[in-house]
């Protein structure tokens, strides 16, 4: 079964946690150790990506180190075609739907599509939108941020993603956001759209993760805090347990 199918099947019955590792934030070896840790505490997949990557070689080295140290699916979360790695299992083939730049909406996808086909990594289609505060991803992606309280726009993007045939939808507040996407926005999106919803950006503890899952998030993504703080390593099992216990 391919990875997209596995995610769909699993998130039909339970909430999932994905760990985001940014190759720019630590050495490949350290990334491998983080991946081994997140696997041991029940994260479902490792996403690899970031807004400030330097080279494909940097992504390749990080993906290979992760693959050496853990057996979770490794899914690219790319900021551009030049950061794809043939060593990953899959790629979120996503459009940054609320960017003002055609590059991030469609041109980078066109530039990377033949590489994805020839390397055999599995493309998993996703509509990706950035909500206030947006952080680095919002700035670099030249995004017309969705206002925090504008659930109606978020619903519009989610339905557009669904009608365009995308498989997943991602509500992103930006890595390191001071506050995550609101419960109201998640509830509104899940109330209207029929596709699994990722929520990430600024989710730092078990209670926040539980609330987002209870509001309807199917998949919770955490990233930067994991890289920066060993304290978070102690908290990650609690976050994963809280997501697992959450009810919509
Ligand atoms: C960023 O949503 C992810 O794309 C993760 O955000 O680094 O704040 O956990 P954090």
CA 208 / ligand 1 centre spacing (Å): 13
Measured in residues, the chain has a length of 248
Task: State the CATH number of the domain containing residue 63.
Answer: 3.20.20.390
Residue to probe by mutation, ligand 1, list 45, 175, 227, most atoms within 8 Å of CB: 175
DSSP secondary structure, 16-52, as one string: EEEEEE-TTSS-HHHHHHHHHHHHHTT--EEEE--SS
Sign of CA dihedral 19, 22, 23, 25: negative
- Answer whether residue 6 is part of any domain: no
Give me the domain span that covers residue 191.
15-242
pTM of the model: 0.97
- Is residue 100 situated within a structural domain? yes
8 located within any domain: no
Buried b (16+ CB within 10 A) or exposed e, 1-12: eebbeebbebbe
Count of domains for the chain: 1
How far away, in angstroms, is 143 Cα from ligand 1 center? 16
The pLDDT, as a whole number, for residue 226 is 75
Q: Residue 83 in contact with residue 52, Cβ under 8 Å?
A: no
The preferred substitution site among 200, 229, 232, 240 for testing ligand 1, maximizing ligand atoms within 8 Å of CB, is: 200
* Distance (Å) from CA 183 to ligand 1 centroid: 17
Separation between Cα atoms, residue 60 and residue 38, nearest integer Å: 20
Ligand 1 within 6 A of CB of 133: no
Say if residues 190 and 159 touch (Cβ distance below 8 Å).
no
Output the CA 95–ligand 1 centroid distance in Å.
17
Count Cα atoms within 13 angstroms, Cβ side, for 221.
27
Q: Is residue 182 part of a domain?
A: yes
Classify residue 150: in a domain, yes or no: yes
User: Which residue carries 């590489």 as its tokens?
Assistant: 115
Nearest to 171 by CA among 217, 216, 129, 133: 129
Q: How far is the CA of 22 from the centre of ligand 1 (A)?
A: 10
Q: Cα separation of 132 and 207, whole Å?
A: 21
> Is the C-beta atom of 109 inside 6 A of ligand 1?
no
State the distance from the centre of ligand 1 to the C-alpha of 79, rounded, in angstroms: 14
Residue 86 lies in a domain: yes
Distance CA 177, CA 120 (A): 34
User: Which residues, given as ranges, of the chain have pLDDT below 70?
Assistant: 227-230, 245-248
CB of 225 sitting under 6 A from ligand 1: yes
User: Given this model, what pLDDT does residue 248 score?
Assistant: 65
Assess whether the C-beta atom of 19 lies below 6 angstroms from ligand 1.
Answer: no
Residue 247 placed within a domain = no
pLDDT tens figures, 25-53: 999 999 999 999 999 999 999 999 998 88
Residue 177, domain member (yes or no): yes
Q: What is the pLDDT of residue 230?
A: 65
């Amino acid at each position: 079964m391919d990875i997209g199918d596995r995610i769909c099947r699993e998130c039909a019955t339970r909430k999932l946690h994905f760990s985001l590792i940014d190759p720019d934030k630590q050495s490949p070896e350290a990334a491998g150790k983080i991946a081994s840790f997140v696997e041991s505490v029940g994260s479902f997949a490792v996403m690899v990506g970031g807004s400030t990557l330097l080279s494909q070689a940097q992504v390749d080295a990080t993906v290979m180190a992760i693959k050496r140290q853990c057996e979770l699916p490794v899914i690219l979360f790319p900021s551009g075609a030049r950061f794809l790695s043939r060593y990953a299992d899959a790629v979120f083939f996503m459009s940054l739907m609320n960017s003002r730049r055609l590059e991030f909406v469609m041109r980078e996808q066109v530039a990377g599509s033949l590489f994805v086909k020839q390397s055999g990594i599995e493309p998993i289609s996703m509509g990706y939108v950035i909500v206030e505060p947006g952080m680095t991803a919002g700035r670099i992606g030249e995004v017309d941020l969705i206002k925090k309280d504008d659930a109606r726009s978020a619903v519009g993007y989610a339905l557009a993603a669904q009608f365009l045939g995308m498989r997943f939808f991602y509500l992103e507040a930006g890595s390191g956001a001071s506050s995550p996407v609101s419960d109201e926005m998640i509830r509104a999106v899940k109330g209207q759209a029929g596709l699994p919803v990722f929520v990430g950006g600024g989710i730092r503890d078990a209670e926040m993760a539980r609330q987002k899952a209870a509001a309807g998030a199917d998949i919770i993504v955490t990233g930067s805090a994991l890289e920066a703080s060993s304290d978070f390593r102690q908290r990650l099992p609690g976050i994963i347990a809280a997501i697992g216990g959450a009810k919509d």
